[in-house]
Amino acid sequence: MRLKNKIALVTGAAAGIGRGVALAMTKEGAKVACCDIDKDGLRETKSIIDKAGGSCFTDAFDNRNSEAIKSFVETATSELGQIDILVNVAGIMPAGANEDIEESTVDDILSINLKSAIMFSKYAIPYIRKSGGGSIIHMASVTGHNGHPGVVVYGATKGALMALARGQAMELAKDKIRVNTVSPGTVDSPMLHRFLEEEATDKEKARAGFDKIHPLGKIASVEEVASVVTFLASNDAANVTGEDIRCDGGYCIQGFQPKE
């Protein structure tokens, strides 16, 4: 119960890592406020948490709308009493070459992956400060560390989230608000499943290929990523701020020697 009596806001919580984070934090004693654009997915997340005996407030809206973000933060605080933790997970990953990408798609990636994290932080920080401090975690990615063709704008937003966290960590240290990022490698999540459906000619072979390129021999589960986020939100990470923790099975640091 490392998060007992804590209140956590989790974005992108209708499925995948966002839902996994909400469930993991509930198991550690936190009350959670979850948001996403997917109403049905949010309803399912809430049902799972309710059945587990947790407390969950949800609201479905488009996080490109800053006024909706502000309203959610204010309502969640009114419903749950405070905010101690903010976890920005919401993101999209359209695939395609830079030269082929539409300007509207660029705007969506930047707004959903990066701008929303800035705006959620803007509206949540005063409440976290009022609680005496807390933790903000942004979901980054190995694509923010390594070059990945086909998802360059997505990767740019993930690198930007790491820079955002470092700046916020310094700006908010005096308020005892810690800010960090988590960078997963490939994760067995709905985002991967959609990618395989849209981009792979042989989905089974492509899925096995993702396992193979991770030195530990497998991609991450949602629960493995969520456990790192929960650690950063807890007092176990009381002296950790401005850091990025890679949860990537060794993907980013692997090297290759010639076979012959």
pLDDT surpasses 80 at 259: no
- Residue 85's φ and ψ, nearest 5 degrees, are -140, 135
188 or 131: which carries more pLDDT confidence?
A: 131
pTM for this prediction: 0.93
d(CA 155, CA 247): 16
User: How high is the pLDDT of residue 256?
Assistant: 66
CA distance 165 to 117: 10
Average pLDDT (21-35) is 97
Mean pLDDT, to the nearest integer, of 179-186?
96
Compute the half-sphere exposure of residue 38: CA atoms within 13 Å on the CB side of its CA.
18
Say yes or no to pLDDT of 255 above 80: no
Q: What is the pLDDT of residue 258?
A: 57
Give per-residue pLDDT as tens, 237-246. 999 999 999 9
pLDDT digits (tens, 9 = 90+) for 71-126: 999 999 999 999 999 999 999 999 899 999 999 999 999 999 999 999 999 999 99
pLDDT for position 168: 98
Q: What are the structural domains, with CATH classification, of the chain?
A: 7-185+221-250 (3.40.50.720)
Distance CA 190, CA 31 (A): 25
Contact 58, 81 (CB under 8 A): no
Q: What is the pLDDT of residues 35-52, one digit of tens each?
A: 999 999 999 999 999 999
> Do 164 and 118 touch, CB atoms closer than 8 A?
yes
Q: For residue 154, indicate whether it is catalytic.
A: yes
